[in-house]
Structure 1
Amino acid sequence: MSATTKQFALHEDWTVVLLAFLIIGISLFLFLPEVPAFKWSGIADLREDVFEFGNLQTLLLQFVYFLSIGTIGAFLIGKPVKSFLVVFPVVYILTLISLIIAGNTFVKGINLEAVIFSLIIGLAIGNFFKLPEWFRTALSTEVFVKIGLVLLGTSVIFSDILKAGSLGLFQALVVVLSVWYFAFWLCRKLKVDDELTMMISSAVSICGVSAAIATSGAIKGDSKKLSYVISMVLVTAIPMMIFMPVIARYFNFPEEVTGAWLGGSIDTSGAVVASGTLVGETALKISTIVKFSQNVLLGLAAFAISLYWIYTQNTSAETADAKPTLGIIWERFPKFVIGFIGASLVFSFLLTPETRDNVKDSLKNIQGLWFALAFTSIGLETNFKDLFSNTSKKPLYAFLIAQLFNIILTLLIAFVLFST
């Protein structure tokens, strides 16, 4: 299948914003997709719940829904629609397999998220089978990622943050700024490349996977490097989730301090909830507040990172010795960040709490599936040799040292703010 001549093409980021708000509008006014069941513990549960006829109908309807949105996107950005219609069902089925694996109660218990299985399955298929070039070209990784990011804005509700109190907000701000700068400085010292530096700094300091994805989108980063950072985030979250509550109990940390420590230093929201649950109800509440306070900074961070990247990566021959003009900044600025902030503002100030509660589970499911589809696509278009060809361990060292700094600093701040 050869690519057809592009007679019409809309800017990819504006297409993403349009599609994301189309999804939001459909969810609010026309049709609210059901959330499929993926939870199972044994073969009987798998057969009776996941492969139950009603759930299969929900999955089929979800497939048609996503295929329709994706087809509109392929048309608007000028990609060959026929190729997309062939490739998307393959990506969707592989992604469903990853969601089913992640839905197992044991897998959930060790907090392995669906995106890691999407990446592994995609890498396995992409490396053991020779995929035709038209297939790889038709993969819409960036579109999937950015739609998910704009939809992520619907879960960032400012009123919830304000209700959480000033202590959680203050800790989040101090931790994010301090840890981001330390990680950035450390990566520079270790001569880690610029793209990995930005992704590692954001992932360690803000909210792990989502921050790394948002940063990669803001700087138009290499998806292989993003995969590397995501892998580090997910792998380190597991021992942190298990051992930090053990350490807190051993040293008899107050439960409020423990919650603030967990929420401020563990990079994934799922691991924060799991670790907070191991400690107690108060720790769970405080850890969730602190983590959510960090999440709300994601849009502002992506905005600031975008501006920084445009100014520092200005390599155009004509403007090598001058700062970019406002026109150049606007041209290069990732418009999906505007969509993220816009979605957050709409859900924070224009919708009632009842309306938000009615759509939040469905939108969260849709957002998560776009991310999972993106990582399946990244795996399919990535070669193992490309992913692990960087023999330098410096990015790993930088990530681990920055994470240790994050753990120590957050504990100190938690004691200052939350100990009574």
Structure 2
Amino acid sequence: MSAARFLPGLAALLLGAVLARAVELTLGFNHLLVAIALGFVLANAVGVPDRLEPGINTHKLWLGAGIVLMGASLTLETILEVGGLVLLVVVGVTTLTILVVELLARNVFGLADHMGSLLAAGSGICGVSAVVAVAGAIRAREEQIAYAAATVLLFDAITIVVYPLIGDLLGLSDVVFGVWAGVSMFSTGPVVAVGFAHSEVAGQWATMAKLSRNALIGAVVIAYASYYARSGSAGRPSLRTLWDEFPKFVLGFLVLVALASAGVFSSAQQASIENAYNWLFVLAFVGLGTEIQLAELRSTGLTPALVVLLALVVASTVSLVVLSMLFGA
């Protein structure tokens, strides 16, 4: 595949990133949220031209690269200060979210078991990626995957707007807001976006909390595959499948955290790396905005959306109360 195919889309991402920065400098709006808005306008008001798609679709690569580089600005000492408590909150809220979605889907709203499991994985772990991973393990139908993915994307779009408003309204501290977003929002991109829109520290904690959730994907896939295998509706996932679905950028992030903890990077190098990952995030969020397409969101079924909404309200409320008690507002 010729690299030239990616150039028009990459140029569009870069133009959007520069424009987002310019808007922040002139009007004061956060450049990360502006970047998402620009991508959204392009996708819904104009439509993404075919020649731009290959380059724009690289936005997940830039997000992963930015997360890896962010590890250079953190040390194990910083993480371990409250890392143990954060990990407990991550596991607790993830478990709560999955259980609430399964309970509502199966026992209250009467959704098919496979559909409820896809919604639970997408809400509890890492959005559409978790939906796809669990779908392969439990042999879900195409239409179930589509509905679950659309539902997750709907709430990604909603939380990008709502969480910053709540954070400002309640005056949440950087750590509380960051971890709250990381443990209760769905997909990695929106979590990183709202975290860094709040502050640099909030963005770092949001990303770390979200990476901890993402790392649970293997355990959740195995659990669902084992459950459905007993009924004969699915097979056990292979190690290759689990490795393919595991978010590799988590490993890169940890490597750079270890290097930073060892004092490998000078202050000047860390400043340069921070500038680099900030630009990578802006590029990624322009592309992320193009994925929020109104036509697809309208296809979301009312019942799946209601199930996820109720679970999100429960998980976000419980996690916010717990985090405020642990770390202060």
Same fold (TM over 0.5): yes
**Residue 50 (structure 2) pairs with residue 169 (structure 1):** no
Matched-pair contact (CA < 8 Å) for 2:150–2:296: yes
Residue in 2 that maps onto 1:118: 38
Residue in 2 that maps onto 1:9: none
CA shift, 1:103, in A, is 4.6
Instruction: Give the unaligned 5+ runs of structure 1.
Output: 1-77, 203-210, 249-257, 275-287
Max radius of gyration: which structure?
Answer: 1
Q: Report the number of matched residues.
A: 292
Matched-pair contact (CA < 8 Å) for 1:172–1:294: no
**Which one-letter code corresponds to 1:388 in the other structure?**
R
The higher relative CO (CA closer than 8 Å, separation ≥ 6) is in 2
CA shift, 1:367, in A, is 2.1
Q: Secondary structure of 2:75's partner?
A: helix
Residue in 1 that maps onto 2:221: 309
Q: Secondary structure of 1:296's partner?
A: helix
Q: Secondary structure of 1:93's partner?
A: helix
TM score, norm. by length of structure 2: 0.68
Structure 1 distance, partners of 2:4, 2:206, is: 41
**Residue 325 (structure 2) pairs with residue 412 (structure 1):** yes
1:307-327 CA distances to partner (integer Å, 9 max, x unpaired)?
5336636999xx965423334
Task: Please list, as runs of the form range in 1=range in 2, the aligned pairs for 1:10-409 lying within 5 A after superposition.
Answer: 78=1, 80-108=2-30, 113-127=33-47, 134-135=50-51, 138-141=54-57, 143-156=58-71, 160-163=75-78, 166=81, 168-191=82-105, 193-202=116-125, 227-245=153-171, 261-266=176-181, 268-270=194-196, 272-273=198-199, 288=201, 292-293=204-205, 295-309=207-221, 312=224, 322-349=235-262, 351-354=264-267, 356-379=269-292, 382=293, 384-392=294-302, 393-394=305-306, 395-409=308-322
Matched-pair contact (CA < 8 Å) for 2:37–2:286: no
Matched-pair contact (CA < 8 Å) for 1:218–1:334: no
* Farther off after superposition, 297-306 or 169-178: 297-306
**Residues 195 and 333 of structure 1, relative CA distance in 2, 3 Å threshold:** same
Residue in 1 that maps onto 2:186: none
TM score, norm. by length of structure 1: 0.55
**Residues 404 and 121 of structure 1, relative CA distance in 2, 3 Å threshold:** same
CA shift, 1:409, in A, is 2.3
Matched-pair contact (CA < 8 Å) for 1:122–1:377: yes
Instruction: Give the unaligned 5+ runs of structure 2.
Output: 106-114, 136-144, 183-193
CA shift, 1:338, in A, is 3.6
**Which one-letter code corresponds to 1:173 in the other structure?**
L
**Residues 121 and 310 of structure 1, relative CA distance in 2, 3 Å threshold:** farther
Structure 1 distance, partners of 2:276, 2:261, is: 15
1:177-228 CA distances to partner (integer Å, 9 max, x unpaired)?
22221122222233375555334334xxxxxxxx658868977997755643
CA shift, 1:154, in A, is 2.3
Matched-pair contact (CA < 8 Å) for 1:112–1:234: no
CA shift, 1:300, in A, is 4.1
**Residues 343 and 185 of structure 1, relative CA distance in 2, 3 Å threshold:** same
**Residues 349 and 96 of structure 1, relative CA distance in 2, 3 Å threshold:** same
Q: Secondary structure of 2:300's partner?
A: coil
**Residues 401 and 357 of structure 1, relative CA distance in 2, 3 Å threshold:** same
Matched-pair contact (CA < 8 Å) for 2:97–2:315: yes
**Which one-letter code corresponds to 1:361 in the other structure?**
E
1:56-111 CA distances to partner (integer Å, 9 max, x unpaired)?
xxxxxxxxxxxxxxxxxxxxxx4x54443344334443454444335554423xx9
CA shift, 1:152, in A, is 0.9
Matched-pair contact (CA < 8 Å) for 1:181–1:201: yes
Q: CA RMSD in A?
A: 4.2
1:106-161 CA distances to partner (integer Å, 9 max, x unpaired)?
423xx97234313422333445xxx66x43753552x3213322331222359635
**Which one-letter code corresponds to 1:117 in the other structure?**
A
Structure 2 distance, partners of 1:264, 1:337, is: 17
Structure 2 distance, partners of 1:347, 1:363, is: 16
Between Structure 1 and Structure 2, the one with more helix by share is: 2
